[in-house]
Chains A and B, each alone.
Chain A
Amino acid sequence: AQKVTQAQTEISVVEKEDVTLDCVYETRDTTYYLFWYKQPPSGELVFLIRRNSFDEQNEISGRYSWNFQKSTSSFNFTITASQVVDSAVYFCALSEAQGATNKLIFGTGTLLAVQP
């Protein structure tokens, strides 16, 4: 069965601290994609990154970095030197092919509060 677990419901940090958001997934497929989305207080979801199952290279984009480890089925997200504008709910998601159709499963999200 396909599943995404974000065990951290809420995280609160002070500005400039580093913070890591955890994501653990379950899948039987060998081909799948992992995503991170940000949902700021305004409500819309904003795409951050996509990673396919054959690419375990870590990625860095400015203050954001992602650590994909198939051995532990994890796709963790780190924000370096957090800022108040990073306050949002962050969702990890998994997409795999199931028969004739694809499925996309979101985790329950992690609410990040960055205090000034």
Chain B
Amino acid sequence: DAKTTQPPSMDCAEGRAANLPCNHSTISGNEYVYWYRQIHSQGPQYIIHGLKNNETNEMASLIITEDRKSSTLILPHATLRDTAVYYCIVRVAGTGRRALTFGSGTRLQVQP
């Protein structure tokens, strides 16, 4: 699986959009981009994933650049409950139920 690079920490004002970047310059054509987050004292939680098209669900939007070398997770209206560590994970498709390889993630602090 391709490696990812994320900033170690970010701040965001409550109510504003939080834009979390991820670099995955060595991504292969059949690798998906996954985002999970981990709120303090909880297990990681799935947010969203995508291959090359932008994706949106009730939690967030995922924007993947055309060359697929980077992506951005967008939380449109951040709340204090969004304070967490966010993990960007690149994973090969079609390999069955493989485990996730977590990096250090980005610690997002939403400020009141």
**A associates with B:** no
List residues of B whose CB falls within 8 A of some A CB.
Answer: none
